[in-house]
Amino acid sequence: MKMNKTHRGFLAATAIAAAIIFSAAPGFAQNKPDKNGDEKIRPFHIRVSDTAVNDLRKRILATRWPGKETVSDQSQGVKLQQIQKLVSYWGTGYDWRKAEAKLNALPQFVTNIDGLDIQFVHIKSKHPNALPIIITHGWPGSVFELIKLVGPLTDPTAFGGKAGDAFDIVLPSMPGYGFSGKPTGTGWDADHIAKAWDVLMKRLGYKNYVSQGGDWGSVVADKMAMQKPEGLLGIHVNMPATVPVDVAKALNNGEVAPAGLSTKEKEAFESLNYLYKKGGGYAAMMVTRPQTLGYGLSDSPVGLASFFLDKFNEWTYSGGHAEQSLTPDEMLDDISLYWLTNTAASSAQLYWENNANNFNAVDIAIPAAITVFPGEIYRAPKSWAEKSYHNLIYFNEVKKGGHFAAWEEPQLFAEELRAAFKSLR
């Protein structure tokens, strides 16, 4: 059959996608059904093909840019000058192989749970009686935002801690994210992920463990706490769900804050009010049309990068300038991971699956700990937290760090986890 340009382009794209998936690890196949109940834990190694990396560079160089924003601030989104600077480096100076090496330097594995391959990092501490912890990333994050925790958590004596502070850590990629499998049907919501994480920890041989999360990771940790699986000793979250019913109602209806709120409660209300009115458009698109959004983000590297940079600007503790909290390489490691695994759409589907307000108060009885970072989407007041997390064993407000706290302030974050779980060892 004679091929026109469309046919040739489609086949080229298919070949690139195949190269990404099957060069990632020998024998690795995304979403491989576990028909025989296979619970094997298999070693995992990343090697993205040169074809895929070169294609990314070509697409970057072929970018068609829009006109400049018509305002002096970021009220219209990422400013043209900022994204052009980042993308110029992405296409000419950035080295994905260094990012790949960061992950391959860690012990990585894959195992099949409920018919889906889950890829994860698993590091055991050299110290005896280390506390097992599973830490879940969020969106638009990945395992990259957590790997700076490896040293401080597994080898605390080298980072200002004591041997008794040590953790064994498990860092999974959520379904549809990174090198984990992509769900081919519905049902992989936060509840399902929470159950899968308990299966994973038990499969690794841990009878007792704790769970931590930020962003979606907080939602997953909360779900685990509500499910109360045997062996889950407690949780720590840095994006807690604490908003009371009356406050949630006022926010949803666009009303003024309820009377009687304290200063910190009013500040929390105003932060959420901004998110609901001006800052939540990204989530509205993913909640309602993840597939439609995915077509653009999966075809344009700059579209993907600008979508993520918008949140890096807004959610880091940087005054709207992400480069003050994260290096260009750190941001591009994360963005490139989404691009090279083609997970823009599959990651967004989690919003569609979990169409709920993740800030509204939960009802959690098991031991829970909270750290409030100043650059978080909203700073949860202790007065609200105590009504949602009924066995609040630790609550602390720190002075630096944002929504990507483990990425921005890994040493501080590790110190918070040591303090948060001290009573559960």
DSSP 353-407: HT-S-TTB---B-S-EEEEE-TBSSS---HHHHHHHBTTEEEEEE-SS-BTTHHH
Superfamily of structural domain 11-242+280-424:
Alpha/Beta hydrolase fold, catalytic domain (3.40.50.1820)
Q: Is the separation of the CB atoms in 169 and 143 below 8 Å? A: no
Active site residue 351: yes
Among the residues of 93-137, which ranges form H helices? 96-104
How many Å apart are CA 197 and CA 183, to the nearest integer?
Answer: 16
Q: Which amino acid is at 47?
A: R
Across the chain, which has 425 residues, the per-10-residue mean pLDDT values are: 36 34 33 58 97 98 97 96 98 98 98 98 97 98 98 97 97 98 98 98 98 98 98 98 97 96 98 94 95 97 98 97 98 98 98 93 98 98 98 98 98 98 97
User: Which of 122, 127, 137, 403 is flagged as catalytic?
Assistant: 403
Q: Which amino acid is at 367?
A: P
What pLDDT, on a 0 to 100 scale, did the predictor assign at position 10? 32
How many Å apart are CA 193 and CA 367, to the nearest integer?
Answer: 20
Strands (E) in 44-139, as ranges, are 108-113, 116-123, 131-136
The β-bridge partners of 167 are 131
Active site residue 276: no
How many Å apart are CA 415 and CA 149, to the nearest integer?
Answer: 10
Active site residue 295: no
What pLDDT, on a 0 to 100 scale, did the predictor assign at position 38? 80
Tokens of 365: 């009885």
Q: Is the separation of the CB atoms in 368 and 380 below 8 Å? A: no
User: Which of 117, 165, 215, 334 is flagged as catalytic?
Assistant: 215
Q: What's the angle, vertex CA 74, arms to CA 71 and CA 77, rounded to 5? A: 100
What pLDDT, on a 0 to 100 scale, did the predictor assign at position 32? 43
For the chain, give every domain's residue range: 11-242+280-424
Going by C-alpha positions, the residue among 146, 175, 113 that lies closest to residue 348 is: 175
Pairs from 331-335 (Cβ < 8 Å, separation ≥ 24): 331/86, 332/86, 332/89, 332/90, 332/94, 332/99, 332/305, 333/99, 333/102, 333/144, 334/140, 334/141, 334/142, 334/144, 334/145, 334/308, 335/90, 335/140, 335/301, 335/304, 335/305, 335/308
User: Which of 94, 282, 351, 378 is flagged as catalytic?
Assistant: 351
3-state secondary structure of 282: helix
Dmax of the chain from CA atoms?
74
